[in-house]
Structure formats: structure tokens, C-alpha cells
Amino acid sequence: MTVTATSVDESDQLPPQNAPVSRAARLVRLVPALAAALSGVLLYVSFPPRTLWWLALPAFAVFGWVLRGRSWKAGLGLGYLFGLGFLLPLLVWTGVEVGPGPWIALAAIEAIFVALVGAGVAVVSRLPAWPVWAAGLWIAGEAARARAPFHGFPWGKIAFGQADGVFLPLAAVGGTPVLGFAVVLCGFGLYEAVRLAVRMRRTRALRRSAAAVALLSVAVPVAGAVAARPLVSDKAENGTATVAVVQGNVPRAGLDFNAQRRAVLDYHARETERLAAEVKAGKVAQPDFVLWPENSSDIDPFANADARAVIDAAAKAIGVPISVGGVVEKDGKLLNEQILWDPVKGPVDTYDKRQIQPFGEYLPLRSLVGAINENWTSMVRKDFSRGSEPGVFDLDGAKVGLVTCYEAAFDWAVRSEVTDGAQMISVPSNNATFDRSEMTYQQLAMSRVRAVEHSRTVTVPVTSGVSAIIMPDGTITQRTGMFVADSLVQKVPLRSTETPATRLGILPEIALVLVAAGGLGWAIGAGMRGRRATEA
């Protein structure tokens, strides 16, 4: 079968450009643009803290309806509107303390990737089995967003909105790319199934192969998720560990919490000492180790004796090692560091954050940013440096992989800890700068997906909430409130089995990018052959 640009159904084509256009017709022409933006908003609503994961399916179904049979230029514009509808509300937390400028700029830049995906989907929508190629293109767009610019920004991956969904077990099969591909394929397939059903009612004619592809696009992802259920388990393989997650709270929310650095350290030490008193009284089980959040000691304990004494006293009170989130300076480099603090030996191991946050922990294009707004440069006076090695702490025999805050969004950063021997994962974070926004819930959902992806217990110690303990099946067993001092103690399973997602690593993502490239190449080639035939 030869596919040409003229193979689109007549019902999908627009009227000739030279036809008289009434006011009503002009309004009708706005419908696709409005539908693209609103379907992007619908996709946003499917994300945490809401548990409406299934709304991603109609969101992509409407997006498929908007794009099918359009030119690549129309797809580019409609894709951009879809991206803005999705990313503007999703990322509103980035402007909580710095104003709307950076938030709008970030969403506008990230939406460019969605626009390019929209252009590609419009092109491949003329192909047989187009939902497959279109879903591959979406994952290719996510892969690009996770790598550029400034080392990428994967926030908003479709997989991160599926922590409560039926597709979640697919994370253990091929990580976030396979999970996201299944959701997008199901959404596009849903539209194609409805389109063909309507067409059959109108014409009583329908190709069996087209109907089969539409139905399989919906059925295969669901069947795959059901088949993957046995990969999801919370059984202990290497015994258990009793972990304590400490949330000390901060004096006040916002960027100026850093001005209260000593208070933040004291709060975490005080909550640890309170926990030690409860352990001594027999009210709480003795933990094997304690996990503090990122930035729990922004005073460098290696350079400040008072900070060292506070941490040392807390470790001695609880009587077990503590993983402390500190800001330290070594050899002129500023590092976001996790410090393993032994109650007897003091600091014995460290992990330096490798995926640091642009415009938060370092400032790209500093001179340009300063020319726009000097206040923004003052927020990041000195750039943090990157660590280079995975961080797996041996905490009383349990191997705990450290994934600091922003790193949880990056597939490679989490996977490297597991392949380096981690039997559980800790995601120490600091969300105090984002007040009571949805950011902490979005990040918590990421950790739930990572738990299933690698079949590991995940703990999330946060300065101001929400801190949580997550089982390897993605279930939250304990959580704190926001802006309260609290601690969570629980016996959790330790596991060493690697899921297919862990073993395969980046290969599923590469395969899906190749699917996208193959579909795009086929569509472009078919279009060129069609033009040559027309000219002949």
C-alpha cells in the first residue's frame, strides 16, 4: 500500500481556502486551537495531587483528534497550545517565590518540545497504525526534554502522573518511557477507535486491519499492565531494616528560609532527640538508622564546630547513624552533600548531588539573567558543583541509595544507585521554597513510580513536607503533613532483585525513539513519493 498526503479521509479535510468564510465558520476554525489548549489542561488535571490518572487518556484522544490529517505547520501550533495548556498550570510552583516571569519562560520553552511532537504527530497521522508512531514521538519528545537545555528538565513526564493508575506495573518492565508510551498509545488508540466506529456508522465500510490496530492500541497497554503485575512485590529479599524519617520543619516558607539556617538544623536535631526519647520510653521501635532531608544543615559541619556539635549530639541521642543533608565547601567548590554521620566516629561517608538544578543551584547565562533582573542573580550567588559518583551508604548493613530531590526526575540518576547495589532508596528533599504548592505532591508521585520501576522501598525525608515511606509496590504506608515537625518509623523490606527496567536501562527509551524516527521517516518518504507522482 502506498501512503500519500491525500490518503486522509474527506471528513477530516478543511474547506478550500478560497471559499467564502462566514463569522460562524471563522469561529469553527478556532475549535481545534481551543480543543488543543483544553486537552492540555485536562492532562494537567490528571497529575497529582489529584488521583484522576485516567484523564490522560481522553486528553490524548482529543489531542489526536486535533492533529490527525493536519499539516506539520498546523501541528506545530496546535502542539504548542497543548503544551502550554499542560505545562503552565503544572509548573506554576516555579514562580511561587520569584514571580511569574521565570515560570512563564520555563513553560514557554518546554512547550516548544511539545510543539515539535505535535508537528510530528500530524505528519505520521496519515500512516497505518498511526497511534503507535505518534506515541513513540511523544516519548522521543520527553527524551529530548530530559536532556536539553541545561542538562534537561523531565518534570511532567506522562509516567509521573500514573502513580495511582492501572498502567503503573509497566514501570517495572521498561521504566518511565514504557509506562508513558502505554498511556499515550492508549489515548491515541481511544480516539482512533471512536473515529472508526463513527465512520462505520456513516459508510458501513471499515477495513479490518485499521479496526484491529485501533482496538489493539487500547487493549495491549492494558493487557501489558495486567501481565506485569507479578513484577510488583513488597516482599523482603535481604531482610528488613527499621528506618526513621525525620522532618524537622523550617521557621518559615520561602527563599528566605536559608537566612534561618541554624534554626533549620536545630529543628531537625530537636525532632531527632524527641524521637530518641520516645524510643527510650518504649513508645517507638529503635530505628537502625535515621534519614534527614536535603538542606537540613546548610551550615557546613566540616567548617563550623557548632553545627558539628549539634549533629553529633543528635546522633548520640538516637544511637544510630544519620544521613544528614548539608551544604559544604571543599577545595573551593560548593556541594549539596549527604553526609553519613556515625554516633561514635562522626562523618564517615559522603554523597555529592550530581544532577543540580539550573537557576536554583547554579545559574546558566548569569550575565544575561543579571541584565534582565539583578535580584535573580543574588538568589544564586555562587554556583554549586556536580558530584561524579553514585551514593550508596552502608547503614547498619542496609545499602541505601541516595537520590537528592531534583535527581528523582532523572531516570539515570535513580537507576545508577540500584545498579550500584542499593537495597532501598532515599530521596532527601527540600520543598520549603515552594510553600504549599503542588510541587511536593508531584515529586512524591515520582518517588512512587521509582519504587515500582526498581522494586525498592523509597523513603522521602523532606524539610517541611510531605515526607513519606513508600513500599516497593508504590504504596505510601506513612506520610507527614506540611510545615510540621514529625518523624516516621517503620520496618521496611530490603530487596536486591533487579527488575527488567533496571537491567534494560536506557534501551527501551532508545527503541521507542527509533519507532518515532521510523514512523516519521516513512511518512516523509511517502509524502515525497506522492508529490513526485502528482508532478508526473
Spatial contact of 48 and 94, defined as CB atoms under 8 Å apart: no
Q: Is 186 a catalytic residue?
A: no
| Phi and psi angles of residue 488, each rounded to the nearest 5 degrees, phi first | -120, 130
Upstream peptide bond of 461 is cis (omega within 30 degrees of 0): no
| Torsion angle defined by CA atoms of residues 460, 461, 467 and 471, in that order, rounded to the nearest 10 degrees | 30
The set of residues, in sequence order, having a beta carbon less than 8 Å from that of 314 and lying 6+ positions away, is: 268, 269, 272, 273, 322
Upstream peptide bond of 149 is cis (omega within 30 degrees of 0): yes
Q: Is 294 a catalytic residue?
A: yes
Query: Residue 134's Cα: distance from chain center in Å?
Result: 21
Q: Is 405 a catalytic residue?
A: yes
β-bridge mates for residue 246, sequence order: 487
Taking Cα atoms as reference points, which of 35, 47, 36, 22 lies closest to residue 449?
Answer: 47
| Burial class of 6 by CB neighbour count within 10 A (0 to 12, 13 to 18, 19+) | exposed
Query: Residue 146's Cα: distance from chain center in Å?
Result: 10
CA 175 – CA 160 distance, rounded (Å): 11
Annotated catalytic residue within 353, 407, 438, 453: 353
Upstream peptide bond of 124 is cis (omega within 30 degrees of 0): no
Q: Can you read off the three cell numbers belonging to residue 188? A: 491515541
CA 162 – CA 99 distance, rounded (Å): 29
Annotated catalytic residue within 405, 407, 438, 509: 405
Annotated catalytic residue within 294, 361, 438, 453: 294
- The count of C-alpha atoms lying within 13 angstroms of the C-alpha of 233, restricted to the half-sphere facing its C-beta, is 11
The set of residues, in sequence order, having a beta carbon less than 8 Å from that of 360 and lying 6+ positions away, is: 380, 406
Which residues belong to the active site? 294, 353, 405
